Amino acid sequence: MVSGSTAEVAGVAGGPVHRAITVEVTSARDRRPGRPPRVLDVGGGSGAWAVPLARLGCAVTVVDNSPNALAALHRRAREAGVHELVTPVQGDVDALADVAPAGGADVVLGHGLLEVVDDAAAAVSALAAATAEGGAVSVLVTSRYAAVLARALTGKLAEARALLVDPDGRFGPDDALRRRLDAGTLRVLLESAGPLRVDVLQGDGVLEGWIPGSVRDGGPAAAREVAELEHLAAAAPPLLDVAARLHALARRI
């Protein structure tokens, strides 16, 4: 019951998440030379991650319950010339074992997934089960404390308070998300719901809400400077929980 639209997030190319996944793909290629790294993208939608990873030479299977998203993925992969490396599969994380073999993927992506599923722990278990021993699960989630700050800065104090005190980090019954996570909660969820060890926990979009648009749009030199600052900020523990999104890379043990 998750559509891949939630995985269409900023910073796919060149950001800290992309860098971490690229390192993981390189490691998978080194572990098993002679064949493409196998990537499973759950809720991957129209291919925001799948197509760039296929360009790196990965064999990518995208599981999504939206036929429209999968059709868009097929077109996108064909236009990029990587359609032979991308396999769209209609399915859901709740029944992932039916469409993805156990231990079949070197890297499993669950981006924009844990905040919308009914049972986050069950989803983590399913992602872990699909991961080969020594492989990794990459999850990208919406940050609770960044959402609190965003509401407070725009004067939505009641929503900010609700996000802060609600056990699931929701602002009320009209909230489109089932939960928002902080860094500690995300680590516990990953390490208690599956045979996983968190190797990377970083921010994504740490400074995007703070740097003025006029600076971000100031040309290639400014873009490089912002990207470098974002890369440094992503790994700074005091800034982790105010990132727009939290990224974790958890090793299957």
Q: In the chain, where does DSSP find H-type helix?
A: 16-31, 50-55, 67-79, 120-129, 144-153, 157-165, 183-193, 213-216, 220-234, 237-240
What element of type H or E holds 201?
A: strand 196-204
Q: How far is the CA of 123 from the CAs of 11, 27, 212, 229, 235, in angstroms?
A: 24, 25, 37, 33, 26
pTM equals 0.92
Per-residue model confidence as pLDDT tens digits over 41-96: 999 999 999 999 999 999 999 999 999 999 999 999 999 999 999 999 999 999 99
Per-residue model confidence as pLDDT tens digits over 141-150: 999 999 999 9
Domains identified in the chain and CATH numbers: 4-143+181-252 (3.40.50.150)
- The dihedral through the CA atoms of 210, 213, 216, 218 has a sign that is negative
Residue 14 pLDDT:
67
Residue 7 pLDDT:
36
Alpha-carbon distance of 194 to 75, in angstroms, equals 35
Low-confidence residues in the chain, pLDDT < 70: 1-14
